[in-house]
Structure 1
Amino acid sequence: MIVLGISSYYHDSAAALVEDGTIVAAAQEERFTRKKHDAGFPANAVKWCFEGARVSASDIDYVAFYDKPFLKFERLLETYLAFSPRGFDSFRKAMPVWIGEKLFQKNLLLKELKAIDESLGTADKLLFSEHHFSHAASAFYPSPFEEAIVLTMDGVGEWATTSAGIGRGSELSIEKEIHFPHSLGLLYSAFTYYTGFKVNSGEYKVMGLAPYGEPKYAQKILDHLIDLKADGSFRLNLDYFDYCTGLTMTNARFDALFGGPVRKAEELLTQRHMDLAASIQAVTEAVVIRITRALAAETKIKKLCLAGGVALNCVANGILQRDGRFDEIWIQPAAGDAGGALGAALAACHHQKGMPRARFIGNDGMRGAYLGPAFAQSDIEGVLTAAGAKFTVLEEKDLLDATARAVADGKAVGWFQGRMEFGPRALGARSILGDPRSPVMQKMLNLKVKYRESFRPFAPSVLREDVAEWFELDADSPYMLMVAPVCKDRQRPMTEAERQLFGIDKLNVPRSDIPAVTHVDYSARIQTVHSDTNPRYHALISRFKAMTGCPVMVNTSFNVRGEPIVCTPEDAFRCFMGTEIEVLVVGNCYLRKEEQNPGLKRDYKDAFELD
């Protein structure tokens, strides 16, 4: 049985293909359209899934959509009725769009599917999964666990904002839910909005900013915004929010509570904003810990699966790991709405059609999240030649030697290999690499390559076999979704003068033997690299270790701020020529910036809308 999963019409549209319970292809639409968080129907991703899996549209048994549009329309309608006459103007403006896009979304889906192939657009093939069940399915079915608690947390689906269930074998059931408008994801997004970042894309910036501040407002949040119970259940005080009926996340009462108006985009960040970020991060961690402790105590189950946008909060995930209530934790790498496409397909296979779970190749069913397009060496050479690139084709040993040497020499290296990652993280297939030992690498990559805010941290890729010697973690973290401290013997103590620094002034203080990936609180967002899922990347870091003694590399996504991660060799070459990346490695092709035609350089940093 072959099932096509689709998520679309909100943000991060995607398609995924599951064959007899095995995940064979998945990709986000943004990678093809080059529009970040593209919400449109994922026609390009669907067509690529067919191509990547070598199936035709007529081979598809079912198409599964990741939520139930009519239930979502019901929630929107009931919310406005509950709050009326507040928000009537926005209700009046939104109603024509809702009727077209929500109420009749089934017809819209069938139309889009027919446009790809007539055989896809038949009503008897179309299945729907509830939003949080899609998240739960994406978390449990690819996990390595036979039995697990499954926790999903995000902004909102149809009604649910948080759900807890149990997976056993091929069975998955949702046992508890918290419903809209009470939402941990929306609470976090309210602070994303208030601190001047974009909702649904800037939450990770708030998480990255938090260590520069102190949680001075955490108690105020608990006293006024969220009523948090001992078991982690909660209710929000809606007097301070405007997301139910208005066009903003927060209101004037929220401004008054926290002592000022919403920060404007690109406005200077102050210590107050950093303290606000630290505060909402602390509250989020407290909620997650209470929920998971209560579930662990109630069920006695020792395995935990996570999905939903809140599961991308890798700082909270690291605290969960260290809390010790679970023997193992597995997090869906595409935890946001893109992963809903995959979850819908898996739910159709196992929950709706009763198929047994597939046997895994590797540690889990995600194949390292390398589920997107790959390109043959001959195609890469043809594309680069047509683009006017100057390159050398190297044998594998020479390629690894040259790349490891470039990183050791302090160069920024674009690394484009194999199948593209599914989810928001670059995991060594579409990555920019650097030397973690360099005290200037973080600042250089942020300002000269990524063109983004200087406070943003970078992640380390570390050989799985060496992770415990460098970080306070001895577990798999293949998807860069766990934060842990750098080992004490690798840390550099701060001087008294350095300890007196505040906020962003802390950025330039080296904190460890690998300062480029050590955040201001001595933590790091860790990716463990495994030889079975990404042998070439593992071999590269091994070569770097042989040269330097360090089994760690800086790994950041291959893009600039506001740009989706590169998908094709053309994308990679454009980004290479539009930034100060000094070396590009695409397949076996090795490119040096100084050898390229200067006429091919382009103004790139303003090519994309800032996120």
Structure 2
Amino acid sequence: MLILGISAFYHDSAAAIIEDGEVIAAAQEERFTRKKHDPDFPVNAARFCLEYAGRSINEVDAVVFYDKPLLKFERLLETYYAYAPKGLKSFMMSMPVWLKEKLFLKTLIWEALDTIEKVDRKKVKLLFPEHHLSHAASAFYPSSYDRAAILTIDGVGEWATASICLGEGNKITILKELDFPHSLGLLYSAVTYFCGFKVNSGEYKLMGLAPYGNPNSQQVERFVNIIKNNLVEVKADGSIFLNQDYFNYATGLRMVYDDKWEQLFGFPRRDSESLLEQNHCDLALAIQQVTEEVVLNLGKEAKKLTNADYLCMAGGVALNCVANGKLDDAKIFKEIFITPAAGDAGGALGAAYAAHYIYYGNERKVDPAKLDALKGSYLGTEHSDMEILSVAKKYRAPYKQFDTEDALVEKAAALIADGNIIGWHQGRMEFGPRALGARSIIADARNPEMQKKLNLKIKYREGFRPFAPVVPIEDVSEYFEHEGNSPYMLLVKKVKESRRIPYPANFDAKELLDKLYFLRSDIPSITHIDYSARIQTVHRETNLRFWKLLNEFKKITGYSVMVNTSFNVRGEPIVNTPEDSYRCFMRTDMDYLIIGNFIFDKKDQPEWKEKDDWRNEFSLD
């Protein structure tokens, strides 16, 4: 049985294909179009999935869209009606789009698929599971658990903004839902907006900014109280109630009423790219603390309702790896699995899984010996030597080709140990927002200058943003207060106390820029200001070459941990093709590019003739 899943028309559109319950391929449309968070129908991603599977569109049993558009339209109408006459301008702007596109979504999908290959509409089914069911399926079905609680949290689907489910065998039972307009995801996005970052894009920046807040200050405590007394009522069962007097997202064109928030917090909404102040840091910490409280409450409620030993998580809020780490530390469950494409892109995969197991009722077979069924999330495109050589020829790019993997890995490890920054393009592209060693920029975590250099000269982004460590699973407890798996970079844990460097006197009183480059540990480039790190564990079963590289680096330096960040610059999607990688390499201060068995040395490359500046080409995301 062959099923194609689709997510589209909001943000992060994607396609995924599964055959007889096995995921074959999955990719986000942005990687092909080079438009960050591309919401358009994923024609390119769907074409890739079909080609990788070696199948025609008419061999597909079903095409499955990740939510129910008519139910979403019902929510939109009911919301505008409930708040009338407020929101008339927003209503008048949104209705033409809905009437033209969303209400005729079936036709749009068929027409888009016809551009790949003419579809026999009598043969191929078109299915529409609910949004949060797609999220739940994306987490439970690829997990190694036969029975687990499932927690989904995001902005909003059709009506639901969070759900608690029970997964058993091939079944998912929805036990409890929280409905719009009350949403933890939208609350977090509202603060993201007020702090000057983009909604549906900058939430992870807010999470990274939070540790610069002063946890011992009265201001953070005051902000938490303001949030809980005015904006949101937090209940013990994980449900929340948002005071709509302060929010404008239900019927307006913005997230919040700026003037009311300014009166509450005592400072105005920050303009994008303007100077970050302590107020913004403290507010980021306050909302992070409230978010963690709600997530813990939801975890406890999920345990209470299911009495399950294991938990699966999905939805955009499941990308809040700090909250995930706190939930894991609470030991409510024996183990937590968070699907790597937890946001809307992952809905494509979840929709396909939901059709396979729920609609068609197929048997589910679980292999507890495996981490999961997602193959390390390496589900995207891969490229041949011929394609790499074609790019080298096009740009007249000198290179060195290695005959064996071991020789390549030895050279790469030595280059990194010498302080070089490497663009690392290997194997199949990752599915999801994190680079996991297939389309990565890697460097030496021991280098105290590396965070600054990567942020300002490679990524062209804000200097406060932290970088993640990558470490072989066998060595994770040598560096971090964690002994389990974290293959998808979705858990934040503390660096081991023995590796930390104590704060200087009055550190909390310093401004953000003064705190930024304080030496915090013996692996400073991946140690955040609160001694935390967003860990990726590497497993030889899913990425042998990356695992070998880390172990070779350990032979040279005594350390098996490196910096791993996504292979892109700010505002740009992660690279996909060898040409994407070469262009990014030449337009930044990276030292070497390694694609497959080919190494390109920046010093040997011809002058880059394209004078465009990515710092101006892409806005902050």
Give the TM-score range, shorter chain.
over 0.9
What secondary structure is seen at the aligned counterpart in 1 of 2:162?
strand
Q: Map Cα deviations across residues 464-497 of structure 1 (whole Å, 9 max, x no partner).
A: 0000111000000000000000001111112225
Secondary structure of 2:198's match?
A: coil
Correspondence for 2:479: 470
* 2:227 alignment counterpart: 221
Amino acid at match of 1:343: G
Does structure 2 conserve the Cα–Cα contact (< 8 Å) formed by 1:152 and 1:307? yes
2:115 equivalent in structure 1: 115
Q: Which moved more, 1:348-357 or 1:497-506?
A: 497-506
2:503 aligned with 1:494, yes or no?
Answer: yes
How many angstroms does 1:357 deviate by? 1.9
| Aligned ranges 1:139-538 → 2 under 5 Å | 139-214=139-214, 215-216=220-221, 217-251=223-257, 252-359=259-366, 362-395=370-403, 396-496=405-505, 498=507, 500-538=509-547
Amino acid at match of 1:297: K
TM-score, reference length from structure 1: 0.98
Of 437-446 and 257-266, deviating more is 257-266
Give the drift of 1:398: 2.0
Deviation at 1:435, TM superposition (A): 0.4
Q: Distance in 2 between matches of 1:368 and 1:444?
A: 29
Task: Give % identity.
Answer: 55
Moved more, 85-94 or 598-607: 598-607
CA shift for structure 1 position 501: 2.3
Post-superposition offset of 1:264: 0.8
Separation in structure 2 between the aligned mates of residue 339 and residue 604 of structure 1, nearest angstrom: 32
CA distance, structure 1, for counterparts of residue 76 and residue 171 of structure 2:
31
The CA deviation at 1:498 is 4.1
Are 1:607 and 2:614 an aligned pair? no
1:112-148 CA distance string (max 9 Å, x none): 1222222265585101110000000001000111100
User: Which amino acid letter does the alignment assign opposite residue 280 of structure 2?
Assistant: H
Q: Assess if the C-alpha contact under 8 Å between 1:241 and 1:254 holds in 2.
A: no
Cα offsets for 1:495-542 (capped at 9, x unmatched):
225454232321111111100000000000000000000000000011
Worse overlay, 597-606 or 519-528: 597-606
1:229 CA displacement:
1.1
Which of 375-384 and 514-523 deviates more? 375-384
Number of the residue aligned with 2:99:
99
Partner of 2:27, secondary structure, is strand
Paired residues in the alignment total 611
Does residue 58 (structure 1) correspond to residue 58 (structure 2)? The answer is yes
SS in 2 for 1:116: coil
Work out whether residues 14 and 29 of structure 1, in 8 Å CA contact, stay in contact via their aligned partners in 2.
yes
Q: Distance in 2 between matches of 1:131 and 1:504?
A: 41
| Unaligned stretches of 5+ residues in structure 2 | 215-219
Does the residue aligned with 1:304 lie in a helix, a strand or coil? strand
TM-align CA RMSD:
1.3
TM-superposed deviation, 1:604: 4.1
| 8 Å Cα contact 2:63-2:124 kept in structure 1 | no
Q: Deviations over 1:296-349 (max 9, x none)?
A: 134321100000000000000000110011100000100000000000000000
Please tell me the residue identity of whatever aligns with 1:42. Answer: P
Query: By how many angstroms is 1:55 displaced?
Result: 1.5
Q: Which segment is superposed worse, 439-448 or 87-96?
A: 87-96
Change (3 A) 1:200 1:499: closer
Q: Normalization by structure 2: what TM-score?
A: 0.97
Q: CA deviation at 1:427?
A: 0.1
Question: Which sits farther off after the overlay, 253-262 or 124-133?
Answer: 253-262
2:40 is matched with which residue?
A: 40
SS in 1 for 2:617: coil
Corresponding position of 2:562: 553
CA distance in 2, matches of 1:269, 1:488: 29
3-state SS in 2 of match to 1:240: coil
Residue number in structure 1 paired with 2:587 = 578
Secondary structure, counterpart of 1:178 in structure 2: strand
- Cα distance in 2 between the residues matched to 1:578 and 1:495: 38
Rounded Cα–Cα distance in structure 2 between residues aligned with 1:528 and 1:502: 33
Secondary structure of the corresponding residue to residue 253 of structure 2: coil
Give, as a single letter, the amino acid of the residue that structure 1 aligns with 2:551: S
Change in Cα spacing, 1:602 to 1:356, as seen in structure 2 (3 Å) is farther
Q: Given that residues 114 and 121 in structure 1 are in contact (C-alpha distance below 8 angstroms), is that contact kept between their aligned partners in structure 2?
A: no
Secondary structure of 1:317 counterpart: helix
Task: State the distance in 1 between where 2:34 and 2:541 align.
Answer: 30
1:186-209 C-alpha deviation (Å, 9 max, x unpaired): 000000000000000000000000
Q: How far apart are residue 160 of structure 1 and its match?
A: 0.2
Query: How far apart are the structure 2 equivalents of 1:525 and 1:432?
Result: 16
Query: Could you list the runs of 5+ residues in structure 1 that have no partner in the other structure?
Result: none
Moved more, 124-133 or 302-311: 124-133
